[in-house]
Amino acid sequence: MRPARLAAAAAVLALALAGAARAQNPAAQVTHGITAYQNLDYDSAAVLLRAALAVPGPTALTDSDRVRALVYLGATELYRDRRDTAAALFGRLLRIDPRYHIDQLVFPPEVSGLFQQVRLITRAVAVVVPADTEIGGGRDVLSIRMYAATFHPIDVAVLRPGGARVRSVYEGNVGDSLQVTWDGRATDGSPVDSGRYLLQADSRGADGHVVRSVAIPLTISRVKRDTLPLPAPPAASLFKPEHRPGGNGVRGAVAGAAGVIAVLALPSLVAGGFHPSTDRLLVAAGFGVAGVLGFHAQRGPQPIFENIAANRTLRLTWQHQVDSVHAQNVARRSEVRLKVHAGPLQILGTP
């Protein structure tokens, strides 16, 4: 009778603990379960931790709290002589967080050793991408980082929500971690249209079959690049004066008149004659015309040729800049750029 009474008392205690656990906040249940584990009360720890893990909906555990609950529950079940159950719990943990490493300062060798054995056979990856990325110009890409629980083959692809494959991103093995990229293009090389997509990673078993899939939802929108403003013309202060001011023309006129007088008078004074010859009259007329031209030339502004050349170079440089911006804007108008927004990681199927 005594063993039966003990079993009945244990059952009543377990029911009481379960009822108390259901009344608690899931995170608090995890805390109390860990305390029970540390006090070597493994039966109470198992009840509390399982109750916390069973809470669904908005009040369910966060992933980090769920991982804590699973590692302590796995250790608890190992000490309750349920090794297979403990291994299954560790596998469930690694499928949630393949990067998780057990703290060997907290858990003794028998627990960490079983955990490492489970890690070696758990084929799972975590996928990490930036929340927002802009792709375009043949240079920018979506950076995809993957972390694996153990070495195994994976397939990474961009899919439409219905499952149609848009582009294969990677097919091969993954070790501890791996980084790949996607340029935002479909298999035919064209940029994808605006819409919703899935970045999906499939882990494969030894027989080649998919054993686990995770996906990140991508919202992609096509955007046009802003055009560049045209450069402003050179400021007036940068230009050098192209002419210097002219004189009043008297010097040229005086020189011409002096030439006329010299031609007409000087030979007469020397030769004693008073009648100028025809040749002398022509030369005198030439000096007269030269004087008139000199008068007008000295009255107008005088060109500064080096300044004219410098100003021409300044205008040509500005025009080249304008032409370059025009060409860049033509390229920008024709370029397709993609804005990629990544959602939270989804584990396809219950871990």
287 occurs within a structural domain:
yes
Task: Judge if 8 and 51 occupy the same domain.
Answer: yes
Structural domain range at position 97: 2-121
The alpha carbon of 109 is separated from its chain's Cα centroid by a whole number of angstroms, namely 44
Average pLDDT over residues 258-268: 53
Cβ-based neighbours of 150, under 8 Å, separated by 6 or more: 119, 120, 121, 122, 123
Cβ-based neighbours of 274, under 8 Å, separated by 6 or more: 268
Higher-scoring residue by pLDDT: 44, 336: 44
Q: Give the separation between CA 293 and CA 252, rounded to whole angstroms.
A: 8
Residue 23: CB atoms within 10 A of its CB come to 10
Q: Copy the structure tokens of residue 342.
A: 């990544």
Task: Judge if 138 and 186 occupy the same domain.
Answer: yes
Task: Judge if 64 and 27 occupy the same domain.
Answer: yes
Task: Judge if 306 and 241 occupy the same domain.
Answer: yes
283 occurs within a structural domain:
yes
Task: Judge if 129 and 68 occupy the same domain.
Answer: no
Task: Judge if 112 and 25 occupy the same domain.
Answer: yes
Task: Judge if 202 and 343 occupy the same domain.
Answer: yes
243 occurs within a structural domain:
yes
Last residue of a domain, one of 91, 121, 151: 121
Average pLDDT, the chain: 83
Q: Give the separation between CA 46 and CA 29, rounded to whole angstroms.
A: 11
Task: Judge if 56 and 90 occupy the same domain.
Answer: yes
CATH (domain of 137): 2.60.40.4070
**Position of tokens 């002419």?**
243
pLDDT at 345 over 80: yes
CATH (domain of 25): 1.25.40
pLDDT for res 288: 56
Burial of 75 (0-12, 13-18, 19+ CB in 10 A): buried
The angle at the Cα of 75, spanning 72 to 79, to the nearest 5 degrees, equals 135
230 occurs within a structural domain:
no
Cβ-based neighbours of 230, under 8 Å, separated by 6 or more: 322, 325, 326
Please tell me the pTM assigned to this model.
Answer: 0.63
Task: Judge if 219 and 255 occupy the same domain.
Answer: no
Domains: count for the chain: 3
Average pLDDT over residues 219-238: 88
Task: Judge if 265 and 188 occupy the same domain.
Answer: no
**Position of tokens 């955007």?**
223
Task: Tell me the CA end-to-end span of the chain in Å, nearest whole number.
Answer: 43
Average pLDDT over residues 18-47: 86
Task: Judge if 8 and 98 occupy the same domain.
Answer: yes
Average pLDDT over residues 263-282: 52
With a pLDDT cut of 70, the percent of the chain lying above it is 75
229 occurs within a structural domain:
no
pLDDT tens, residue by residue, 141-183 = 999 999 999 999 999 999 998 889 999 999 999 998 999 999 9
Task: Judge if 13 and 42 occupy the same domain.
Answer: yes
